[in-house]
Amino acid sequence: MRTDILGVGFDNVTLDEAVSRAIELIEARSAAYVVTPNPEIVMAAQGDPALKSALADAELVLADGVGIIHGAKILGTPMKARVPGIDFAAALMGRLSLRGGSVFLFGAKPGVAEQAAENLQKRYPGLVVAGTHDGYFTDDSPIIEQVTAAEPDLLLVCLGATKQELWMQANAGKLPVGLMAGLGGSLDVFAGVAQRAPEAFQRLGLEWFYRLLKEPTRIGRMMRLPQFVFAVTGARLRGQKDA
């Protein structure tokens, strides 16, 4: 049973539980996929049935943003923990490296995936990078051919919401991969061309505020955060009234 937040169901798992489940999916090699919605994506899904469907079809739906955790509390359905997508990917690749597992890096600007591959192989010596491709394409047939030839355990799809969720849904069960994971800008961080918020901001759940300080142009997107809070508060009040 998933925890419902404004019509998006989240798996109530810790980071360790999410990684263990991901390993099971990789071993099954069913080309299932993982999504990591934050409040911005949940709000986008309210007016986008295709995105909501892609989120619902994922085998794992992880609570990426601290706002999701707060929203669950407001709704009276508290969750175990926040599971940031980039932490999930790092932990999963660490597990794969112990067994000589492989990853294919798909997304970001030209050159970024290659730099991320170099950094990840230094960080996880046993990890095999089976291939890379940037996220700029009009026809994904060559990419699908490349992934098919590589047969990776893990395919990181970093195209940004909602493109990555729809791409994974369209290719779920069709590719010879263990698992796909949609991880937005994570390749930029792995490549070192973008920085995560300092640990103090991470602990306080203020990574969104740090990104806003670094990129003030994100203010329009950030307006969805208060909209999310108002929406979950309204949902709780309506639930209490109906009870």
Model's pTM, two decimal places?
A: 0.90
List pLDDT tens digits, range 60-81. Answer: 999 998 899 999 999 999 999 9
Provide the pLDDT confidence category of residue 225 given band limits of 50, 70 and 90.
Answer: confident
- Distance between CA 207 and CA 83 in Å, rounded? 13
List pLDDT tens digits, range 1-15. Answer: 899 999 999 999 999
How much helix, strand and coil, in percent to the nearest 5, is found in the chain?
Answer: 55, 15, 35
CATH code for the domain of 117: 3.40.50
Q: Give yes or no for residue 137 having a pLDDT over 80.
A: yes
Does 207 reside within a domain? no
Does 203 reside within a domain? no
Q: How many domains does the chain have?
A: 1
What pLDDT is recorded for position 226? 82
Provide the pLDDT confidence category of residue 209 given band limits of 50, 70 and 90.
Answer: low
Q: Which domain holds residue 96?
A: 3-196
Does 160 reside within a domain? yes
Per DSSP, the chain holds a count of helices (H) and strands (E) of: 13, 8
What pLDDT is recorded for position 200? 65
Strands (E), the chain: 3-5, 8-10, 32-35, 60-61, 102-107, 128-133, 154-158, 179-182
What pLDDT is recorded for position 239? 77
